[in-house]
Structure 1
Amino acid sequence: MSALFNFNALLLVILLLICTCTYIRQVVPGMVDSRKDKNIFFGVFWKFARIGERLSPYVSLCCIAMAVITFVG
């Protein structure tokens, strides 16, 4: 079953994208920042990085909750 039809898998993919984009922006800021206006595809990655930076406590709690749900379920 693909992530589009499984809600838990979709949430997991979104959380992983947020965490990955935030990490990449912290390590190599020019890689994400330089492409935020040039291409709509890479602009989405910049928005994921911004969400990870500004809402990091909530993203962390969601990651912990998804880990518990994945291990228990």
Structure 2
Amino acid sequence: MHAGPRRTQDKISLQGFLKSWQSAIFNFQSLLTVILLLVCTCAYLRAMAPSLLDKNKTGLLGIFWKCARIGERKSPYVAVSCVIMALSILFSD
């Protein structure tokens, strides 16, 4: 008898999650922020534990390895992008 309200709450929270995920995909600034954070996180993880990302150079997990390589090789550009993104988030409406 108590399953009805619980399922409604689960459905609402799932819809809220999907709505926030869609807004990150369709909002260009949010998409750039997610990509920039992914690149920075992967580069940091590879610096701390290289064996985690080096064994997965292909497939779905290979995306993380590629992001780490971008973060390593283009680090000045990534750093400038992080500063610009931070300033745009701080001073946006």
For Structure 1 versus Structure 2, the TM-score category normalised by the shorter chain is over 0.9
Note the residue ranges of structure 2 that are not aligned, 5 or more in a row: 1-19
Match of 1:17 among 35, 38, 63: 38
1 or 2 for the larger relative contact order (CA 8 Å, sep ≥6)? 1
Q: How many angstroms does 1:35 deviate by? A: 1.1
Which aligned runs of 4 or more in structure 1 are off by greater than 4 angstroms? Answer: none
How large is the Cα RMSD of the aligned pairs?
A: 0.8
Q: Is 2:62 aligned against 1:34?
A: no
TM-score (norm 1): 0.94
**Pairing of 1:1-73 with structure 2 (within 5 A):** 2-37=23-58, 40-73=59-92
Q: Name whichever structure is richer in helix by fraction.
A: 2
Q: Which has the larger radius of gyration?
A: 2
The separation in 1 between residues aligned to 2:35 and 2:27, in whole angstroms, is 12
- Cα deviation for residue 3 of structure 1 reads 1.2
Identity fraction in percent: 52
Task: Could you tell me which runs of 5 or more consecutive residues in structure 1 were left unpaired when the two chains were aligned.
Answer: none
